[in-house]
Structure 1
Amino acid sequence: MVSKPAALDVEPAGSDYGQYDFIVVSNRLPVDRVTDDGEDTSWRRSPGGLVTALAPVMAKTDGAWIGWPGSADEVLDPFDHDDMRLVPIPLSQDDVELYYEGFSNATLWPLYHDVIAPPEFHRAWWECYKQVNQRFADATAKVAATGAVVWVQDYQLQLVPKLLREQRPDLKIGFFNHIPFPPLEIFAQLPWRRQVIEGLLGADLVGFQRPSDSSNFLRCVRRFSGHAIKSQHVNIKTETGTRICRAGAFPISIDVDQINELANRPDVIERARQIREELGNPKTVLLGVDRLDYTKGIGHRIKAYGELLEDERVTVEDAALIQVASPSRERVESYRLLREEIEASVGRINGTFDTLSNTAIRYLHHSYPKEEMVALYLAADVMLVTALRDGMNLVAKEYVASRTGVNGALVLSEFAGAADHLKQAILVNPHDIDGLKDAIMRAIHISPGEATRRMRTMRRQILQNDVEQWSQSFLRALQVDPAEELGEQP
């Protein structure tokens, strides 16, 4: 850990540019602040999959990570942490409200998730989004070495590729969209649709979770940019000739080794046993783990389980549901209302069906460390992933990776990107409550032999495609010469 930021010297003698050969640009830095009893602030690496995937690349190259440190109105100097140079980008309280809570999470997030909640379009939000994206691009242009590789992450920074290319045409620029990209008919609602498309086309390679997302993007490019498209290559005419931007699917995965290690630790296994005991040792433990978000289908899952109790197809002695709902964007009104709705549903079901010994739904509005999450995965006989729309859903993959005993059942929404890879899951349309109820019952009563066959196939897929393989495949593709690639095509 680093107790306080160090000074930054990114202008080596005789160079007009910075010194970093590989740069990641994301909304947040890959560290969380740790403050001990009023002592100086230190930093701890964030537990996310993106950090896990890119940390080895950072260690092998002269790497820097650019992002917001997480607190409004705070200006920090760049500093070193775990073989990475961290370059903090300041955001004012207005920036947080307009760029992040506003345009990113109340305009783009609902729009890109099939308008499950209505997006809001405000010109002040858009203006702030542009300004913050420019700030990120300026910082990147300053620290990148000549010919450096820059990998921009996610929907908060869609304008950065073009803004960065305008300043630094020497850079190799990649962009990855971690959430879905909407169909043309939905994306067309965005008043600034052309500017967003042109922003993304500043990249050499734009990556998505699913082939359908890549196809949606290319349809929007064709409609709103006028650039010629051949296969997955967009030909962009410039003052000096033609530049090619490619689009493709690069599905993200998880740190399989970390999950396997935890799933085999005696203390985690013992914690899983305690969890079942605390629930009253029901025959079946159902588990949902989500960020509290309207895209995750938590309400649909709870409704289906409540109706199974009402129909007497299960009892609280038969099947208990644990629902972990991590706090999320609680200042945004739609999220506050969602929390009230979910907690009211849980209270009604528990008030109706609880006994002195058993609780129908154990609702946990907390975030938990990875050790506790893996213990929950081990304790659960059935994992419920009922997202209404999800770029990937790594919880589904983590559950599969944790099942070292090759047992358990996964009920998985067909609208999650993970459904493309975990085809042996029990796939459902979460909008079909009766179908969801039947899928839950099928998972509860699945035979050991069928459960093992399905889980073995899914585990094989996860073990062969972990998060490091994802990052390496993207970075390899970014280095491919698109002209040569087109020349090899029939």
Structure 2
Amino acid sequence: MGRLIVVSNRVALPRRGEPTAGGLAVALKDVLKSNGGLWFGWSGETTKTPTSGEIKALRYQGIDYATIDLNETDYKGFYAGYSNNILWPLFHFRLGLLEYDRRQSEAYRRVNRDFAKALLPLLGPDDVIWIHDYQLIPLGAELRALGARQKIGFFLHIPFPPWAVFSALPGAEVLMRDLLAYDLVGVQTHRDLGGMVNCFQDGLGLSPDEDGGIRTSIAGTERRTQLSAHAIGIDTRGFANTARKAINGPDAVRMKASMGERKLIVGAERLDYTKGLPHRMRGFGALLDNFPQHLNQVTYLQVAARSRNEVASYRDLRRELDQLAGRINGDHGLFDWTPMRYVARAVARDTLAGFYRMADVGLVTPLRDGMNLVAKEYVAAQDPENPGVLVLSSFAGAAEAMDGALLVNPLDPEAMAEQLDRALTMPLAERKSRWSSMMQGLEEQTAERWAEDFLAELNEQAAAREPSLAARN
């Protein structure tokens, strides 16, 4: 059996002195450590000259890393342009923010082709290739065009909209056909699986067979692409251990001292218009307006690390959050109480784990999310003897399985305020019951289990096509 080859737009290279990586980066590193293999993708560096496809190689803790640079023009077209100005809002149902430019579409294709050309010489015949996320949808098709016969799977970490939304993209049919180059295409939830199936049915006239696969004939070759849902997990025990240690660390101790006896609501996201940050701030403001018993009794900490500053909509969002935080504090604050603490920069993952553990409420309210690992990390971080309450958007993929959360529609700040009040006043017995139910699910569906299940299904699906490959050879 060959190596596992993980391919993503950005490679989480190990660098000393940086905060511990989170989310997908941690999950994929765990997979590679367990299986051995290579992580390939963009270095994060740009050049002013045309790129040569030169590979930068690194080996660290049993994992091989291989990266390539992008020239500035391709970066702007492929990443800042097509990926973030077109695909990101499209997949998150935000058509009003979609800014199509054909030159960016061409850059997207060109970079995926360059990735394929750089990756192909690194592959062994028995390697298993696992490609991740919306930036690299065409990569499997580009590899096949170069003659790659390896097992190739693709996983989309963000939502998958139905054809009524997806069809707004110029060339939507082409992007859907790119997915047919894979042996397995995975999404986070059954809701997203339904969106993808609807796109194949209404967009391409292709319906899955009884086992959930799409059968096609490409250049006279019969192919079958399996479609399935695989909910990503976290390192549940590892994060729980981190939180137990972090609660006694210097940052958590300082936070406790500054809080006094007040309760804590915590949210931590990358600054992004899909995360519902203005909506949750308005919900907190409604809590203080409608439930005055919480005045001077609760503090809301929101971490919103800046990202994609080159995109105008993100700069606009930052200004809106600055204004909302100032208004809430101005309307409700006292000389010795700041209702809302707003941090617009990254906070180390270990520090956040400690904050999650001490928080009475975890507030996670995306307008649309593939999964949302913050919700899972908050639950994993809790003290079993005195757990907090998760208030979660029904539009997060995590809501599909986290039945102990209080679900909210983030577009309704009054309803959010009501659920926040309920969370802050919930009896201990109910808090324990809700937490226990969710924690059991997190311990069963870990990041390692997610990867094992996906790769097992990929190997199973690819094995089914081996006889036909052998016949042609």
SS at match of 1:330: coil
Superposition deviation, residue 361 in structure 1: 0.4
Q: Equivalent residue for 1:204? A: 183
Q: Which has the higher helix share?
A: 2
CA–CA distance in structure 2, aligned partners of residues 299 and 266 of structure 1: 29
CA–CA distance in structure 2, aligned partners of residues 256 and 62 of structure 1: 22
Q: Equivalent residue for 1:11? A: none
Q: Equivalent residue for 2:229? A: 249
Instruction: Find 1:440's aligned residue among 420, 426, 435.
Output: 420
Q: Is the aligned partner of 1:455 residue 2:429?
A: no
Q: Check 1:163–1:315 CA distance in 2 against 1; reply closer, same or farther (3 A cut).
A: same
Q: Is the aligned partner of 1:422 residue 2:396?
A: no
- Equivalent pairs counted in the alignment come to 458
CA–CA distance in structure 1, aligned partners of residues 246 and 419 of structure 2: 32
Question: What amino acid sits opposite 1:67 in the alignment?
Answer: G
Q: Equivalent residue for 1:405? A: 384
Residue 286 of structure 1 contacts residue 382 of structure 1 at CA under 8 Å; is this kept in 2?
Answer: yes
Q: Equivalent residue for 2:330? A: 351
Residue 41 of structure 2 contacts residue 66 of structure 2 at CA under 8 Å; is this kept in 1?
Answer: yes
CA–CA distance in structure 2, aligned partners of residues 313 and 166 of structure 1: 64
CA–CA distance in structure 2, aligned partners of residues 398 and 268 of structure 1: 18
Question: What amino acid sits opposite 2:342 in the alignment?
Answer: Y
Q: Equivalent residue for 1:99? A: 78
Q: Equivalent residue for 2:444? A: 464
Residue 246 of structure 2 contacts residue 350 of structure 2 at CA under 8 Å; is this kept in 1?
Answer: no
Residue 272 of structure 1 contacts residue 378 of structure 1 at CA under 8 Å; is this kept in 2?
Answer: no
* Matched ranges for 1:327-346 at <5 A: 327-346=306-325
Q: Equivalent residue for 1:130? A: 109
CA–CA distance in structure 1, aligned partners of residues 380 and 391 of structure 2: 15
Q: Check 1:299–1:116 CA distance in 2 against 1; reply closer, same or farther (3 A cut).
A: farther
Q: 1:176-201: per-residue Cα shift (whole Å, max 9, x none)?
A: 00000111100000001011111111
Superposition deviation, residue 463 in structure 1: 1.1
CA–CA distance in structure 2, aligned partners of residues 202 and 48 of structure 1: 30
Superposition deviation, residue 21 in structure 1: 2.7
Normalising by structure 2, report the TM-score: 0.92
CA–CA distance in structure 2, aligned partners of residues 241 and 81 of structure 1: 40
Moved more, 150-159 or 302-311: 302-311
Q: Is the aligned partner of 1:29 residue 2:5?
A: no
Q: Is the aligned partner of 1:66 residue 2:40?
A: yes
Q: Is the aligned partner of 1:79 residue 2:54?
A: no
Instruction: Find 1:259's aligned residue among 231, 235, 239.
Output: 239
CA–CA distance in structure 1, aligned partners of residues 281 and 379 of structure 2: 22
Superposition deviation, residue 89 in structure 1: 1.9
Question: What amino acid sits opposite 2:9 in the alignment?
Answer: N
- Flag structure 2 segments of 5+ consecutive residues without an equivalent: 466-473
Instruction: Find 1:53's aligned residue among 24, 27, 31.
Output: 27
SS at match of 1:179: coil
Q: Check 1:176–1:448 CA distance in 2 against 1; reply closer, same or farther (3 A cut).
A: same
* Matched ranges for 1:185-200 at <5 A: 185-200=164-179
Question: What amino acid sits opposite 1:26 in the alignment?
Answer: S
CA–CA distance in structure 2, aligned partners of residues 446 and 269 of structure 1: 28
SS at match of 1:431: coil
Q: 1:428-467: per-residue Cα shift (whole Å, max 9, x none)?
A: 1111222111111111111111111101111111111110
Q: Equivalent residue for 1:4? A: none
Q: Check 1:288–1:45 CA distance in 2 against 1; reply closer, same or farther (3 A cut).
A: closer
Superposition deviation, residue 168 in structure 1: 3.0
Instruction: Find 1:180's aligned residue among 155, 159, 171.
Output: 159
Q: Equivalent residue for 2:352? A: 373
Superposition deviation, residue 264 in structure 1: 2.0
* Matched ranges for 1:4-15 at <5 A: none
Instruction: Find 1:479's aligned residue among 450, 456, 459.
Output: 459
CA–CA distance in structure 1, aligned partners of residues 191 and 10 of structure 2: 27
Question: What amino acid sits opposite 2:126 in the alignment?
Answer: G
Residue 25 of structure 1 contacts residue 136 of structure 1 at CA under 8 Å; is this kept in 2?
Answer: no
Instruction: Give percent identity, aligned residues only.
Output: 35
Moved more, 254-263 or 75-84: 75-84
Q: Is the aligned partner of 1:319 residue 2:298?
A: yes
Residue 387 of structure 1 contacts residue 416 of structure 1 at CA under 8 Å; is this kept in 2?
Answer: yes
CA–CA distance in structure 2, aligned partners of residues 239 and 191 of structure 1: 24
Question: What amino acid sits opposite 1:79 in the alignment?
Answer: L
CA–CA distance in structure 1, aligned partners of residues 421 and 401 of structure 2: 23
Superposition deviation, residue 120 in structure 1: 0.9
SS at match of 1:359: coil
Superposition deviation, residue 311 in structure 1: 3.2
Q: 1:328-354: per-residue Cα shift (whole Å, max 9, x none)?
A: 111110000000001101111112221
Moved more, 313-322 or 400-409: 313-322
SS at match of 2:337: coil
Superposition deviation, residue 248 in structure 1: 0.5
Q: Check 1:117–1:364 CA distance in 2 against 1; reply closer, same or farther (3 A cut).
A: farther
Q: Equivalent residue for 1:38? A: none
Superposition deviation, residue 272 in structure 1: 3.0
Q: Check 1:124–1:425 CA distance in 2 against 1; reply closer, same or farther (3 A cut).
A: same
Question: What amino acid sits opposite 2:214 in the alignment?
Answer: V
CA–CA distance in structure 2, aligned partners of residues 291 and 118 of structure 1: 18
CA–CA distance in structure 1, aligned partners of residues 290 and 221 of structure 2: 67
Q: Is the aligned partner of 1:304 residue 2:283?
A: yes
SS at match of 2:103: helix
Q: Equivalent residue for 2:375? A: 396
Question: What amino acid sits opposite 1:68 in the alignment?
Answer: W
Superposition deviation, residue 280 in structure 1: 3.9
Q: Equivalent residue for 1:112? A: 91
- Flag structure 1 segments of 5+ consecutive residues without an equivalent: 1-18, 36-43, 486-490
Superposition deviation, residue 240 in structure 1: 4.7
Q: Check 1:142–1:193 CA distance in 2 against 1; reply closer, same or farther (3 A cut).
A: same
Residue 116 of structure 1 contacts residue 295 of structure 1 at CA under 8 Å; is this kept in 2?
Answer: no
